[in-house]
Amino acid sequence: MFRNPLTWLLLLIASTALAACCGSVPCDCRDELDDALVFRFNTDVSTTQGFRPEELSTVYIRRVPLDSAQKPISETIAVTGGRRPTVQTVTINNSQPFVQSGTRKLDEYRYTIYLGTRRAPTDSFIVSNIRLLDDTEADGCCSCNVNLVKKLQVNDGPDLDLSKELSDTVLLSRKR
């Protein structure tokens, strides 16, 4: 069916104007950190719950799929401080520090963060019952992912609701 050339011209102008409007607006969503769980070690050595710097030279993280039929059964990596002599924080995200395996997200695993050596851990923190619920919020030309629910447990303690907190960081202290 042949359309009036004026209709085509108006359609071209409208789509160009819309693309120019949205194309010039930068979106700063920080979506890559939305699901991230950040753990900071207590380094206050004036208390009995703080870790000494030498204890934080290497931190190990093990992840185990909740579905035991999944392969690999478990993976362990070592995190070092890089240029710093100690590890201050550990971030667990869908693709960090482990490579994302298929479409599984970080809430489909249980994690263990431990200090010491791989064979003889001195302190360990079991991160379990991770629950994430996301939604998309649109504002004009930008569409950003937003966490509605972000909860977890450390060492079978009470639920930590990071979606309600001002900070997404969990403080890890020595158990005593």
* Number of neighbouring beta carbons within 10 Å of residue 83: 5
On whether residue 16 sits in a domain, the answer given is no
On whether residue 3 sits in a domain, the answer given is no
| 168, 37 Cβ separation under 8 angstroms | yes
On whether residue 11 sits in a domain, the answer given is no
pTM, two decimals, is 0.77
114 band by pLDDT with thresholds 50, 70 and 90: very high
* Number of neighbouring beta carbons within 10 Å of residue 100: 12
- 61 vs 19, 48, 92, CA distance in Å? 45, 23, 9
Flag whether pLDDT at 98 surpasses 70: yes
Flag whether pLDDT at 152 surpasses 60: yes
DSSP string, 64-131: EESSTTSSSS-EEEEEE-TTSSS--EEEEBTTBSSPP-TT--GGGEEEEEEEE-SSSEEEEEEEEEEE
Average pLDDT, the chain: 81
* Number of domains forming the structure of the chain: 1
Question: Left, alpha or beta for 123 (phi > 0: left; psi -120 to 50: alpha)?
Answer: beta
Residue 134, pLDDT score: 84
138 band by pLDDT with thresholds 50, 70 and 90: confident
* Higher-confidence position of 58 and 23: 58
On whether residue 34 sits in a domain, the answer given is yes
Residue 104, pLDDT score: 82
* Higher-confidence position of 55 and 101: 55
Residue 137, pLDDT score: 79
Rounded mean pLDDT, 12-36 = 68
On whether residue 135 sits in a domain, the answer given is yes
Flag whether pLDDT at 101 surpasses 90: no
Flag whether pLDDT at 70 surpasses 90: no
Q: Could you give the CA distance from residue 137 to residue 163 in angstroms, rounded to a whole number?
A: 15
Q: Strand 142-154: give its sheet, edge to edge.
A: 75-80, 58-65, 109-116, 121-139, 142-154, 160-161
110 band by pLDDT with thresholds 50, 70 and 90: very high
On whether residue 18 sits in a domain, the answer given is no
Range of the domain at 102: 26-172
